[in-house]
Amino acid sequence: MRNPLAPVFLRLKLRLLANSFRRSPWQIVGLVVGVLYGFGVAVFGAGVFVALRVADPELARNVAVIVGSLITLGFLVVPLAFGVDDTLDPRKFSLFGLPTRRLASWLALAALVSIPALALTLVSLSTIVTWSRDLGTFVLGLLSAPLTLATCVLGARVTTSVAAFLLATRRARELTAVIGILALVLISPAVVVLTNIDWAADGGATARGIADVLAWTPLGAAWAFPADGAIGEWDLALVHLWVAAATLGLLWLAWRALVAWMLVTPQREARMKAYGGLGWFDRLPNTPTGAIAARSFTYWIRDPRYRVSLIVIPIFPLLMIVPLLVVGVPIEILALIPLPVFCLFLGWAMHNDVAYDNTAIWLHVASGTRGRADRWGRLAPALAIGVPVLIVGAVVSAAVHGDWSVLGALLGVGTALLLGGMGFSSVTSARFPYPVVRPGDSPFSHPQSTGATTALVQSVSFLASLIIAGPAIVFAALGFLGSDDWFWASLASGVVLGVASLWLGVLLGSRIFDRRGPELLSAALVN
């Protein structure tokens, strides 16, 4: 019996796809550019697979399995890592009384009507050309194309539905984005290993090993079995075909179970936490400076905008080390890099701290809070984090370096960068606040407005931190080139310049804050 609702779902998906082009002109331009770019990549990928038709079967197998596994991984991971707007969420059909099995089938079929699915269809069809070497491999290619397409599309539906539960709240989305950043750091060692391989001499064996492993996984099995037939391993091809079919079957069962669950489960909402006591306000002195410091500590712990910075700042020095490892810089030298970079960015991160208050800055202005209390209170969390990390990091870096005489240089340069940056930031945050992400918005979103002032303030603040620490950096360089006495000169100059810059910066920033309170409130309202 013909099912009249299946075409309805297809027409609905086509209408939703067409409606995506009924936006503002600039949004349409951006969407068209994205679509053209996606199809351009798909055409290039299809051309590569077609070109593999005349390549060596072993080479074609390695390329097809590795590239295909990456494509499948992308369809599975992107919805979980970034979330997507699911226009055909099963929960939207919960009141229609549709059978779960049919609804799951119709939604899976409608998922084929999308830009990524159409691009993948082009690539999958091109693999038929790749394996049209004889009748046997041609038949396997005909089986592989729909298997890869169905696996990727159905896998994307499963992860999209899982993301609808896991990423329903803003905090969950922010946590997932942070995990994505950490994942980039975790794969850095793998990148280093791959870049150190002599691909001219050992590339074939390495690629074969990677392809062999991926062929046994759900990522690469559907791409591997026609390639196995092309190199004459028919028994292995049948086993990998079974793995691919089992993967698709498990995905279908998971999709049906998710649809059934979502039809009877409301959308997840963020839970309200109950807090007892006054938190940091109970722990710090009952003074204006103590109250502002308590509020700043609370921001740094609970505000996602600050939490992201606390995660990214330590990660950035590690990312800098990766390319240096690739080119063979000794670990003894690399041990000296993370601490100064951390101090530089932590001190620089305070250069626009007032703007993060948004309209809450009116509390300081209306209560007549003195600028000195505001400046020191805001710096309290950064000092509480930066100073212990500076001391412990200097000891660890010197130990890894293997020469304790560099301890003075590490402390001197780090102190100048950290305290000097905080001192200059105390001035810029009061004199040149610029728009930032509003409270409650995602820390990965863009501020309401930006301009030349933003880039100028960021650049000048960053450069000023380096200039303040300039003498300490020069003395440290002289220590590596000559006598160890220069390391102690770096320590002395770094501590003096850092403390003096912090004190002068807070003094000047306090006066600016006292004088420009109404202007700061006006800037917050505009933001």
Q: Are residues 67 and 163 in the same domain?
A: yes
- 18/21 Cα distance (integer angstroms): 6
- Judged against a pLDDT cut of 50, whether residue 28 lies above it is answered with yes
Instruction: List the single range of 224-233, 254-263, 354-363 with lowest mean pLDDT.
Output: 354-363
In this structure, what are the phi and psi dihedrals at residue 221, rounded to the nearest 5 degrees?
-60, -45
Q: Could you give the C-alpha distances from 121 to 43, 117, 144, 149, in angstroms and in order?
A: 11, 6, 12, 6
Number of structural domains found in the chain: 2
Is a pLDDT exceeding 60 seen at residue 164? yes
> Which stretch, 34-43, 221-230, 350-359, 429-438, has highest mean pLDDT?
221-230
**Within a domain: 271:** no
The answer to whether 502 and 419 are in contact (CB under 8 A) is yes
Residue 434 lies in a domain: yes
Distance CA 279, CA 249 (A): 52
pTM check: above 0.85: no
Instruction: Please state the rounded mean pLDDT for residues 141-145.
Output: 88
User: Which tokens in the block code for residue 310?
Assistant: 């606390």
Domain boundary among 214, 229, 263: 263
Quickly list DSSP for 161-178: HHHHHHTSSHHHHHHHHH
Residue 364 and residue 461 in one domain? yes
Instruction: Tell me which residue of 157, 144, 147, 158 sits closest to 116, measured CA to CA.
Output: 157
Do residues 342 and 255 both lie within one domain? no
Determine, yes or no, domain membership for 288: yes
Shared domain for 212 and 340, answered yes or no, is: no
Residues 290 and 259 in one domain: no
Q: What is the pLDDT of residue 496?
A: 93
- Residue 275 in any domain: the answer is no
The answer to whether residues 340 and 258 belong to one domain is: no
Query: By C-alpha distance, which of 282, 268, 280, 392 is closest to 338?
Result: 392
Q: Which of 263, 295, 316 is the last residue of a domain?
A: 263
pLDDT, residue 10, reads: 67
pLDDT at residue 121 greater than cutoff 60: yes
Residues 145 and 239 in one domain: yes
Nearest to 86 by CA among 36, 156, 34: 156
Q: Which residue has the higher pLDDT, 105 or 27?
A: 105
State whether 258 and 286 are in the same domain. no
3-state secondary structure of 507: helix
Predicted pLDDT of residue 1:
40
Whole-number percent of the chain with pLDDT over 70: 76
Q: For residues 236 and 290, state if they share a domain.
A: no
Q: Is residue 392 part of a domain?
A: yes
Give the C-alpha separation, 281 to 299, whole Å: 12
The span from the CA of 137 to the CA of 36, in Å, is: 32
Mean pLDDT for the chain?
78
Residue 317: per-residue pLDDT: 80
Residue tagged 């305070």 (tokens): 350
| pLDDT for the residue 438 | 72
Structure tokens at 419: 């305290």
Question: What is the CB-side half-sphere exposure of residue 358 using CA atoms within 13 A?
Answer: 12
Position with higher pLDDT, 120 vs 204:
120
Claim to verify: residue 459 and residue 377 sit in the same structural domain: yes
Does residue 269 fall inside a structural domain? no
- pLDDT exceeds cutoff 50 at 342: yes
What does the pLDDT look like over 249-267, one tens digit per residue? 998 898 888 888 877 776 5
Q: Given this model, what pLDDT does residue 524 score?
A: 59
C-beta neighbour count of 436 within 10 angstroms: 22
Query: pLDDT per residue over 189-227, tens digit each?
Result: 555 555 455 545 555 677 777 888 888 888 888 888 888
Domain that holds residue 396: 281-526
Give the per-residue pLDDT at 166: 64
If phi over 0 gives left and psi between -120 and 50 gives alpha, with beta otherwise, what is residue 218?
Answer: alpha
Can you tell me the distance from the alpha carbon of 176 to that of 173, in angstroms, rounded to the nearest whole number?
A: 5
The lowest-confidence range among 215-219, 295-299, 363-367 is 363-367
Contact 346, 421 (CB under 8 A): yes
pLDDT value of position 499: 92
In the numeric block, which tokens belong to residue 177? 């984005």
Whole-angstrom distance, CA of residue 33 vs CA of residue 232 = 43
Domain check: are 240 and 139 in the same one? Answer: yes
Q: What is the pLDDT of residues 485-510, one digit of tens each?
A: 888 899 999 999 999 999 999 999 88
Of 199, 232, 263, at which residue does a domain stop?
263
95 domain-assigned: yes
Task: Tell whether the model's pLDDT for residue 14 goes beyond 90.
Answer: no
pLDDT of residue 495: 92
Residue 446 banded pLDDT, cuts 50, 70, 90: low
pLDDT in tens, 368-385: 778 888 889 889 988 999
- Residues near 301 by Cβ (< 8 Å), separated by ≥ 6? 307
